[in-house]
Copies of this chain bind each other. A is one copy, B any other.
Amino acid sequence: MNSLSKISICKGRPREFDLETALAAALRVFWKNGYEAASMAELTAAMGITKPSLYAAFGNKEALFHKALDLYEREKLAYMTSAVEAPTARAVAERLLHGALQMQTSTCDPKGCLGVISTAACGVEAEPIKAEVMKRRASSEAAIVRRFEQAKADGEFPEGLEPAALVRYLFAIMQGMALQGGSGATCNELRQLAETSMAVWPTK
């Protein structure tokens, strides 16, 4: 009878662009300019679609940013979640700094960090964006803090070093690296920064 087995789903005219490809293009624009400075005109130009298509497919500018942020976390911030699996706190820090360094020295991606850019400056209209990014960063930090508490229980840290403080310190370095990377620092300079950070990493 009614054969709804076939995945017809869509009755109307099929869209002429690929959602993921367009989203990736949007991500690059947000990444390069930040949320507010990324105009709909530049976004649609980079995505190769018109404004009505964008709004039909992604909702509005803010919803588009959220989906781009999802893609960013999924593809570019994977090293953060995998870093906690390192055997020691020092190795965790090494993986994090190495991952951050690779992000900034990649030749095919924009410089800087989307998260850093989005929380640094914003007008009133971008406050919810900033809040969302801060929330996600907090959950990333929390995961590393838990890992470092384990490391402390394992006796990896000298006296008086709190895991939460050490994570904040480590994240500050990575944020500074992203900032310097976005401000034209060379690969060598950033590598020196990562190496210096590891050179002073506390040992028991």
Contacts and interface: CB of A to CB of B under 8 A. Distances in A.
A57 B186 CA distance: 40
Interface in A58-108: none
Nearest to A203: B200
Interface stretch (A13-21, A47-55, A191-199): A191-199
Of A160, A185, A196, the most chain B CB neighbours within 10 A belong to: A196
A196 B161 contact: yes
A175 interface: yes
Nearest to A185: B168
Of A117, A119, A126, A184, the most chain B CB neighbours within 10 A belong to: A119
Contact of A175 (B36, B164, B166, B180): B180
A122 interface: yes
5 contacts: A33-B123, A34-B120, A37-B123, A165-B192, A179-B179
B122 A34 contact: yes
A187 interface: no
A138 to B, nearest CB: 9
The 10 closest A-B pairs by CB, nearest first: A172-B176, A34-B121, A120-B120, A37-B123, A165-B192, A175-B176, A117-B121, A169-B196, A176-B176, A165-B196
Contacts of A116: 120, 179
